[in-house]
């Protein structure tokens, strides 16, 4: 489809949004393309499908665990926010293997008035996050508390947005790679109590992880997002700051997806650019001629996040309107020409980053499978 760039109204709209926001690997792709031609059912592909390919047959899910969470654990992880080590302080450590299990959120009821020792640890958009201590009979529990940012009067729509986010997030957090919601409420103002992620965010690790650890991290994140897709929810704001880590002794830290404030149910249709991070946004989030936002939008955003994870920089850099035009008009430099990574990774990431949705992976399971095949091929 020939395009000559975004229409003037889109550029103008995005400029306004930015101004407001400023204030406040070949083998795997071959497998994927064969699946597309053969019309294979994404819900039956990958490790979950008995006898599927080199990863063997699926086992019966353990009680209380999501099937994706268990059946996808073929890389050394098993069942298991926001983050400590503020900004880029997190380090990868010396471990060289996936964890045997992923830490989970504490199972407690939160008495909001009992929270103590609060300190700011992050924020963005219209919300702030603090680290807090919850006294319990079994001992103190550390949590992360998200609240809407107070700017004079708290409008009803801000209350509704945060409660909607809490309800959506709470339905998705029964997975190893989604930050857990511990509790939430509306009094004295909307709040979400989350699993405290003690090892920073992906932005502090981009380009610094060993290739195997970066691959495993990407597989884990993809599993978390796929879990949401299977529940009918697209994230739509995937970026390094929304991937947080929990520390695991003697193993690689566990990544989990956070911040579902811009997510939408896949039966809904919207085309808003409000609150986007331009460096990780998909073309259809800027220009409606590329289609509506949906689960395939998340695939593009994951491609952008993984590009930075492996190379240390996003696919396009510069001021916001320049990045927007590049997302619409330019092809990213292959990752292997930017960093010391195998050329086999190029096709995977560039397929995810295709401008037209029809040229991306048909389903996130294929992205997961290609990344996992690369990982397993190196660990064999």
Residues 6+ positions from 229 with CB-CB distance below 8 Å: 266, 295, 298, 363, 364
Kindly state the helix (H) or strand (E) to which residue 163 belongs, with its residue range.
Answer: helix 156-170
Given 173, 176, 183, 237, which residue is catalytic? 237
In the residue annotation, 237 being an active-site residue is answered as yes
Q: How far is CA 326 from CA 317, 329, 355, in A?
A: 9, 5, 10
Q: Say whether 252 sits in a helix, a strand or coil.
A: coil
Rounded Cα gap, residues 285 and 26, in angstroms: 28
Handedness of CA 295, 264, 191, 176 (dihedral sign): negative
Rounded Cα gap, residues 241 and 305, in angstroms: 10
Q: In the chain, helix, strand, coil percent, each to 5?
A: 40, 15, 45
Q: What are phi and psi of 211, to 5 degrees?
A: -60, -40
Q: Say whether 185 sits in a helix, a strand or coil.
A: strand
Rounded Cα gap, residues 282 and 288, in angstroms: 11
| Six-digit token string for 288 | 């409606």
Rounded Cα gap, residues 73 and 79, in angstroms: 8
Rounded Cα gap, residues 301 and 354, in angstroms: 11
Residues designated as active site: 237
């Amino acid at each position: 489809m020939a395009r000559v760039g975004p229409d003037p109204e889109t550029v103008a709209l995005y400029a306004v949004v930015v101004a407001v926001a400023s204030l406040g690997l070949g083998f795997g792709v071959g497998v994927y393309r064969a699946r597309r031609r053969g019309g294979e059912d994404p819900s039956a592909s990958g490790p979950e499908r008995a006898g599927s390919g080199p990863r063997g047959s699926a086992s019966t899910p353990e009680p209380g665990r999501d099937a994706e969470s268990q059946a996808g654990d073929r890389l050394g992880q098993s069942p298991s926010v926001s983050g400590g080590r503020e900004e880029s302080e997190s380090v990868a450590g010396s471990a060289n293997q996936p964890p045997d299990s992923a830490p989970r959120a504490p199972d407690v009821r939160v008495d909001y008035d009992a929270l103590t020792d609060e300190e700011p640890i992050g924020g963005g958009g219209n919300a702030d996050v603090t680290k807090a201590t919850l006294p319990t009979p079994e001992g103190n529990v550390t949590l992360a508390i998200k609240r809407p940012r107070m700017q004079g009067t708290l409008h009803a729509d801000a209350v509704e947005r945060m409660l909607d986010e809490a309800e959506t997030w709470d339905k998705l957090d029964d997975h190893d790679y989604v930050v857990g919601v511990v509790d939430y409420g509306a009094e004295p103002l909307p709040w979400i109590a989350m699993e405290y992620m003690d090892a920073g965010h992906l932005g502090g690790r981009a380009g610094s992880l060993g290739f195997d650890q970066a691959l495993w991290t990407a597989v884990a994140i993809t599993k978390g997002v796929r879990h949401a897709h299977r529940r009918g929810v697209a994230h739509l704001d995937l970026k390094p700051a929304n991937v947080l880590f929990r520390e695991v002794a003697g193993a690689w830290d566990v990544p989990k997806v956070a911040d579902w404030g811009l997510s939408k149910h896949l039966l809904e249709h919207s085309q808003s650019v409000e609150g986007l991070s331009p460096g990780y946004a998909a073309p259809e989030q800027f220009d409606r001629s590329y289609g509506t936002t949906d689960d395939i939008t998340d695939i593009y955003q994951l491609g952008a996040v993984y590009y930075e994870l492996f190379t240390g920089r996003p696919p396009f850099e510069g001021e916001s309107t320049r990045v927007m035009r590049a997302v619409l008009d330019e092809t990213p430099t292959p990752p292997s020409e930017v960093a010391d990574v195998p050329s086999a990774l190029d096709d995977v990431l560039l397929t995810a980053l295709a401008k037209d949705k029809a040229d991306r992976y048909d389903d996130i399971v294929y992205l997961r499978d290609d990344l996992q095949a690369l990982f397993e091929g190196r660990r064999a």
